[in-house]
Every structure is written in structure tokens, then in C-alpha cells.
Amino acid sequence: MVARTVSTSLAALFILSGCSAISQKEAFDSVNQLTAEQGVNNLQWIKTAQEAQSVDESVRALLSKPLTQEDALRIMLINNRALQQSYENIGIAQSELVEAGLMRNPLLGYSIGRSNGASTSTISVEIAFLDLLWIPLRRELGGLALEEAILTVGDSVLRSARDAKKSYIDARVSEEKVALFGPILKSHEASLQLAVRQYTAGNLSKRDMLRIQESYERARIESIKLSRENAAAREALNKTLGLYGEQTYYTLSTESLKRTEPAVTESGLEKRAIANRLDMRSAMKSVDYAAAQAGYSEKTRFVDELELSLESEKTTGEKRFNTFGIKLPIPIFDFGQARVSKAQAIYNQSVHQLYERAVNIRSEVREGYAHLRYTYDIAHSYDEVIVQTNQQILEETQLMYNGMLDGIYELLEDQRRAGEAKMEALDARGEVQKAQADLEYTIGGKL
């Protein structure tokens, strides 16, 4: 009977080991598929030097024209090395899964003893037989772990996509602000030139001239700060896109940043988030994993090891003596209750974690929606009222200047205000785009 069991088990063993788990490529394809559902596709996993080179070429092509947000995202997806690192987690999980499907190697023993001219040689084979029972369980666990890894990697792709979009907006906004500040600084410069001439002509007190000079210098500092912010924002983008050297000479597109009005209500977004968020789905997998793990502990509670051995002993001049042996632990001291309760605790923990995550995600959706909505309203006000009103104020001041009712300094000041309004409006529009990127990540899909 034992022999039969052994032979069927061995047969099963080879079958199991033979039909190995899904390949890394398939696993990566499922990441691609998951993220494509949320509008991020054509991921590329750099595994060879050739692939690295083709990525370089694609990046060069994408950088050769003014960089749009879409192209920046494209570059990030293929060229960001942090993302590549996370892809390797799939490789690791997949390898672990393969490993989980393998029997422990049998132990082959040989011993020889000599006494009084007679020698006894023993050949033995030991097989951790119970693996046969546990392999399907371990494989299940390994499969769950791989699925979880796929989901986690997918989530980090989407997270990186969101961050790339935001970095791009920051770089665009800070660059355009530098440009918008140009006329403002020039206007301060004109004020100062006039003031110096007025002072020289004896028409302005030194104090008033110095005040204007001080304003000019403050404006110059402001301009330097804007350049500093621009440099930082650009470098943040470079890091996200994985760019260095000559690659960093790209220009940004000047297409104006759009401001699309969000839906009037947030209804349905929470449900979408719970269903689509990959980190949510990966947390669900963790629960499954913990459950499977708990089941595994339960099953292996009393006996988790069983070794079968076959021993063949030959003593000189005697008949070969074959022995079948079995080794199994006797649950006297350890009934496995500790392992079982630990597994249950871990399971319970993961259930609570899932619950907490769901609550948090729902809150993030509401918060993200509110943030987008209010940010949009602010940007709308800037675009439709503040900028125009400042322009109208400037036009009225021009009329006042025509009538000698206002002087040149008021005229230049209102011209600067109109310019500052444009900068604030740009900031506000950038905020909308960033809020949108945030919310799209939060709900797991396009708005």
C-alpha cells in the first residue's frame, strides 16, 4: 500500500513540477491590462540591453518636439527606473510561486560500516512526503502572492502616472510664470528709470525715489525666486521622467492648460474607487492570502512533516535487507495552536486593514472631489472675472492717464496688477489639473 502511495505521489509530483506557473511576461501583461483599464498603457519592462536601447530611442523621439503632458507620461512609463524596480517584484513573486510548486529534493544517503571483516553498506532515500499534500496549498498561496504583486505593481504604475502628470504641470506653470513676470519686472524697471530721472531733475524727493528703487529690487528678487522654483520644478520632472544629460534640453509645450469643469456631483465615484482601485484590490488579495495561510496552518496543525524513507542495507555475506521507514512528529508538546492563532490574528488584521482602507478611500474620493470642485471654482473666478476685471481696471486707468487724472506710476502699477492676475490665474489652472490627476488616481479611472 505504501509503495502504491509512493508511486502515485511521485507521479503527481512530476506532473505538478512540470506544469510550472504563469510566466513573468504573462504576469507583466496583466499589469499592463489593469492599468490600461485606467488609461495608462503600453508599459515596457526593460530586461535586456536591446530593450534599454529601444527605450532610449523612443525617449529621444518624444523629446524632439515640445513636450506635452501625454508624452511626458509616455516617457515616465518606459524610462522611470523606480517603476522598473517595481516591475521586478513581479519577477520575484513569480519565482517564489515556481519555487512553491517544487518538492523538496529527496535525500540520498549512503553509509558503510566495517567490523570484524564484515562490512555493512546502507543506501537510503528520504522523501519529505507530506510536501505532496502541501504543494497545492503552497501553490495557492504563491499564486495569491503573485496576484497581489501584480496589483501592487499596477497601483504603483498609476501612482507614478499621477505624479508624472503633476510634475509636468508644476514644470509648465513655473516656466510660464517666469515668462509672465518678465513684463512686470520691466514695468518696475520703467518706474525706477522715471523716478531716477525725476529725482535728477529735482522733481522727486530722494525718499520717494528710494521707495521706488526698493520696489524694483523686491520685484527682481521675486523674479529670481520664480527662476529658482522653475529650476526645481524642472528637475523634479527630469527625475520622474528619468532624464539626464542632453535629454534635459527639451522644451515644454506652450499649449494653454485646459480647465474642464468637473461633474456637478460626486455620486458614483466612491463605488468606482472601491471597485477599481488597484491598491484596494491588492488589499483584498491580502485578505485572501491571509485566509489561505490560516487554512494552511489549520491543516498542518498537528502534522506538517512526514518523511518516508527507503533503506537498503547489505552486510557482507548476508541477504540485502530493505527497510521502509516513516518519520512523523507526535503532537504532544506543540498542538500547533500557536501557529493557528497567529495565522488567525494575521487574517483578522488584514480584514480590518481592508475595511480601514475602504473607509479611507471613500473619504479620499469625497475630499478629492471637493478639492477639485472648489479649485475649479477658484480657477473659473480667476479666468472669467479677476483677469478680465484687472484688464478693465487697466483700461480705465489708461483713460485716467489720458485725462492727467492719474500719473504714469499708477498706470504702470495697474499694468503690473493685470500681469499678476494672469500669474495667479495660471497657478489656479495648474491646481485644477493637479486636483484632477489626484482624483483620477483616487477613483481609479478617468473622470
Q: Rank residues 185 and 306 by Cβ distance to other proteins and give the closer one.
A: 185
Report the C-alpha gap between 403 and 415 in whole angstroms.
Answer: 17
Least distance between other proteins and beta carbon 442 (Å): 35
Phi, psi of 224, deg, nearest 5 = -65, -40
Q: What minimum distance in Å lies between the beta carbon of 200 and other proteins?
A: 8
Toward other proteins, which CB reaches closer, 365 or 418?
418
Pairing of strands 307-315, 321-327: antiparallel
Question: Taking the complex as a whole, how short is the minimal distance between the CB of residue 201 and other proteins, in angstroms?
Answer: 5
**Footprint of other proteins on this chain (CB under 8 A)?**
183, 186-187, 189-190, 193-194, 197-198, 201-204, 385, 388-389, 392, 394-396, 398-409, 411-412, 415
Helices 408-443 and 337-381: crossing angle in degrees, nearest 10, is: 150
Residue 91 or 183 with smaller CB distance to other proteins: 183
| Nearest distance, CB of residue 430 and other proteins, angstroms | 24
Please enumerate in sequence order all residues whose Cβ is within 8 A of that of 48, keeping only pairs 6 or more positions apart, or say none: none
The sheet carrying 107-115 orders its strands as 107-115, 118-128, 307-315, 321-327
At a CB cut-off of 8 Å and minimum separation 6, what does 43 contact?
A: 28, 31, 32, 35, 77, 78, 83, 87, 157
Q: Please give the Cα distance from 438 to 131 (Å, whole number).
A: 47
3-state secondary structure at position 264:
coil
Evaluate whether 31 touches 40 at the Cβ level (below 8 Å).
no
Distance CA 237, CA 248 (A): 10
Q: How far is the CB of 415 from other proteins (least distance, A)?
A: 5
Question: Which of 349, 389 has the CB closer to other proteins?
Answer: 389
For 64-130, where are the alpha helices, taking DSSP H only? 69-79, 81-100
Cβ proximity to other proteins: between 230 and 397 the closer is 397
Give whichever of 167 and 415 is closer to other proteins, judged by the CB atom.
Answer: 415
Report residue 399 as a C-alpha cell: 483713460
**Which is nearer to other proteins, 90 or 192 (by Cβ)?**
192
Buried/exposed code over 233-251 (b: 16+ C-beta within 10 A; e: otherwise): bbebbbebbbbeeebeebe
> Cβ 255 to other proteins, closest distance in Å?
22
Q: Which is nearer to other proteins, 169 or 394 (CB)?
A: 394
Burial 45-82 (b: 16+ CB within 10 A, else e): bbeeeeeeeebeebbeebbeeebebebbbbbbbbbbee
Closer residue to other proteins in complex, CB, 187/436:
187
Residues 6+ positions from 396 with CB-CB distance below 8 Å: none
Distance of closest approach, residue 180 Cβ to other proteins, in angstroms = 12
Say if residues 273 and 361 touch (Cβ distance below 8 Å).
Answer: yes
- Indicate the residue among 177 and 416 with the shorter CB distance to other proteins: 416
Residue 61: partners with Cβ closer than 8 Å, 6 or more residues away: none
Question: Which residue do the cell numbers 527507503 mark?
Answer: 310
